[in-house]
Amino acid sequence: MTATSEHAYETSTPTHPIASKPFTLATDLDGTFLGGDETARRRLYDWIESNRRTVGLIFVTGRDPAFIKTLCAEDGVPWPEFVIGDVETTIADVTTDREIKPIAALEAEIKHLWSDGAERITMALADASGLTPQETEFRYRLSYHIDVDTVDRGAVQRVEALGYDVLLSDDRFFDVLPRGVSKGPSLLRLLAHLGMSTERVLAAGDTLNDLSMLTCGVPAVAVGNSEKALLAELDGDGRVLQAVDHGAAGIMEAVSALDLHPV
């Protein structure tokens, strides 16, 4: 099932300026918003900054808030209005003083589903080969680096038996999440909370962990450098544009091709 068939969120009255903007980009970071060459990235970032009155920006990423704050404060990347991060287990507002503040009402279900997951999963995977814990703070998920040649093939089954989901991506990452939590449902939850129309939101991604977002019912693009596993899942799905250009250039290609905003 897609996220749209599994999850229904009641749209609220618009409460944030982003809801009145004609277009909003909801984008993965690595390989997508941060992908492509420097010229293409600069073109996209400058276009966003020069159209802030009409263009909204949401990051939908596995990265944590600390990474995003450094990225935007030090590397010249546009600040988003909202962040769906920590492999979609954090849903947060970016405040006027550049703090990334979790929205408790949207995280309540995620927190409940996670419960004591960190302790249970750590114990279940303590002896699993080919999995190395990532060195970052986790709230409602656990993430590992994976060695596909040596990984314990029973690890996924052990996690799922405990009632949690496993997300494998790019042959490098093994993420354990609360059941049913992924990019698509988290994005739809945020859009409904903000009272935003899904028709003017573009979802952009490049790896398999973007699949639920690209198929959740909003206009979507798989940028030109997308991994083969993602493209295989999207094969025959005419709702998702498969861009020719890589990374940032692929996003601009989709904005123009889908007539979402003048470029």
- What does the pLDDT look like over 154-169, one tens digit per residue? 999 999 999 999 988 7
Is the confidence at residue 74, as pLDDT, over 70? yes
The answer to whether the beta carbons of residues 107 and 116 sit under 8 Å apart is no
The pTM of the full predicted model, rounded to 2 decimals, is 0.87
pLDDT for position 8: 57
Percent pLDDT > 90 in the chain is 81
Predicted confidence band of residue 172 (pLDDT cuts 50, 70, 90): confident
The answer to whether the beta carbons of residues 248 and 224 sit under 8 Å apart is no
Kindly report, residue by residue over 82-93, the tens digit of the pLDDT. Answer: 999 987 889 999
Q: What is the DSSP string of 8-45?
A: --------SGGGGSSEEEEE-IIIIIT-S-HHHHHHHH
Q: CA separation (Å) from 225 to 46, 97, 124?
A: 22, 35, 35
Pairing of strands 131-133, 142-146: antiparallel
Predicted confidence band of residue 238 (pLDDT cuts 50, 70, 90): confident
CA distance 225 to 212: 18
Is the confidence at residue 9, as pLDDT, over 80? no
Is the confidence at residue 41, as pLDDT, over 80? yes
